[in-house]
Amino acid sequence: MPFSSLGLSAPLLRAINERGYLAPTAVQSAAIPEILRQRDVQGCAQTGSGKTAAFALPLLQMLMAAHTEAPRRTRALILVHTRELAAQVGETIRVLAQHLPERFKTAIVFGGVSINPQMMNLRGGADIVVATPGRLLDLIDHNALRLDAVATLVLDEADRLLDLGFSEELARILALLPARRQTLFFSATFPPAVQALADSLLRDPARIDIVADPADRPDITQRAIAVDAHRRTQLLRHLIAQQGWERALVFVATKYAAEQVADKLRRAGLDAEPFHGMLSQGKRDQVLEDFKARRVQVVVSTDLAGRGIDIAQLPVVVNFDLPRSSVDYVHRIGRTGRAGECGLALSFVTADSEAHFQLIEKRQGAKVPREQIKGFEPVQIVPMATLAANDTTGAPSNGGIKGKRPSKKDKLRAAAQEKP
């Protein structure tokens, strides 16, 4: 089905064409007509499926239709969980809106930077606001913004919003929105807490489940390599050299590990940079830009900072440390194999994290054979209990990350995932 049959206007089709999108992705084909019909949508779509354009295109079309000369009021609110994702969504909207006859103003607001420029930018209003929840509330508290004219609310990567503990902020924001509105709810996963939120927000939604269609899954090969914990950096260097990866995104458990692994790689002559929440915004932007421009070969990132990164043709994601939850696993590996490209997701599995990886496999409903790489065969022994229990309860709830006790959030998350 071509884009032209989805009911989008000529200026949008022109922008799509210039962006080089040849045909709509599955989520776009399914969601765009429903959104244009003003229906609520519950979309289960992986990162990389093209869901940003799936909501941005009809949103822009609806704004055009409802455009008046009255002072600008915020008609569309898009909630995201990180500043990187906010910037990315804002950029997609800017590009797709560029040929529209009306100039829509999109404000992108997120925390971690001074609030003043964002307040200045909101003077005179904004048609579309892309926001992280905390900063949005700050701006509302400063009277910089009102939500009483919002006609469409988008929750993007809703599972991440809840995972990051934004539920209180969300409740406050929802209370400020008009009850009569359209709500578009996108999430890569629907554990019970996320489904409960969707059920409370959506009225007779069109349900779009893209993950269920195997043909449309991002083409990601999952591999797992058994290795001793202390040899992982060496193995990573070996693989980068041997496999000739031009770029790799490597996930670790802590900011310290991000610094340490990046440092070791740099000392081995690789262009590697750490990426985590303690870096300044300027530094984070710079690392992403350098990575996209291929000036940096390896980015070593924590989960928080790694979410929402969209880098076309990222060939490989490495789980140097395993993620804490299978939800995180889905998000991490979704950073490769984006929009029809194929990708590789590689996990290092140590004796300590074997049980946890089994749990992730179980939740994924997939078995990933453990490989060994010549010269890096593990000598540390997987505890017998793990081997015997295999996929039962032997897994540590802290993600197999040594010396780290599960936080309250981990426990809540684990409890939510345990529910049938």
**Which residues would be at the binding site for ligand AMP (CB under 6 A)?**
21, 24-25, 28, 47-53, 310, 312, 338-339
For β-strands 316-319 and 370-371, DSSP reports them as unpaired
User: Residue 153 or 224: which CB sits closer to ligand AMP?
Assistant: 153
Least distance from C-beta 34 to ligand AMP, angstroms? Answer: 17
- Would you list the DSSP string of 17-45? HHHT--S--HHHHHHHHHHHTT--EEEE-
- Would you list the DSSP string of 143-193? TS---TT--EEEESSHHHHHHTT-HHHHHHHHHHS-SS-EEEEEES---HH
> At 358, is the secondary structure helix, strand, or coil?
helix
What letter would DSSP give residue 269?
Answer: T
123 vs 116: CA distance, rounded Å = 11
Number of H helices, E strands in the chain: 17, 14
Least distance from C-beta 20 to ligand AMP, angstroms? Answer: 7
Amino acid (one-letter) located at 54: A
User: Residue 144 or 345: which CB sits closer to ligand AMP?
Assistant: 345
125 vs 167: CA distance, rounded Å = 26
Least distance from C-beta 185 to ligand AMP, angstroms? Answer: 15
User: Residue 238 or 292: which CB sits closer to ligand AMP?
Assistant: 292
Least distance from C-beta 342 to ligand AMP, angstroms? Answer: 14
What letter would DSSP give residue 230?
Answer: G
Q: HSE of 189 in the Cβ direction (CA atoms, 13 Å)?
A: 21
User: Residue 32 or 201: which CB sits closer to ligand AMP?
Assistant: 32
User: Residue 84 or 273: which CB sits closer to ligand AMP?
Assistant: 84
User: Residue 21 or 166: which CB sits closer to ligand AMP?
Assistant: 21
Task: Tokens for 125, please give them.
Answer: 């209003």
Least distance from C-beta 7 to ligand AMP, angstroms? Answer: 16
Least distance from C-beta 18 to ligand AMP, angstroms? Answer: 12
Task: Tokens for 387, please give them.
Answer: 């081997």
User: Residue 52 or 152: which CB sits closer to ligand AMP?
Assistant: 52
Least distance from C-beta 28 to ligand AMP, angstroms? Answer: 6
H or E stretch including 241? helix 232-243
The closest of 365, 299, 363, 371 to 336, measured between CA atoms, is 299
Distances, alpha carbon 112 to alpha carbons 54, 84, 155, in Å: 28, 11, 21
> At 78, is the secondary structure helix, strand, or coil?
strand
Least distance from C-beta 361 to ligand AMP, angstroms? Answer: 25
Q: Are 265 and 236 in contact (CB under 8 A)?
A: yes
249 vs 310: CA distance, rounded Å = 11
User: Residue 216 or 303: which CB sits closer to ligand AMP?
Assistant: 216
**Residue given tokens 């009225």 in the structure block:** 203
User: Residue 92 or 353: which CB sits closer to ligand AMP?
Assistant: 92
Least distance from C-beta 417 to ligand AMP, angstroms? Answer: 24
308 vs 301: CA distance, rounded Å = 12
User: Residue 208 or 272: which CB sits closer to ligand AMP?
Assistant: 208
Least distance from C-beta 327 to ligand AMP, angstroms? Answer: 17
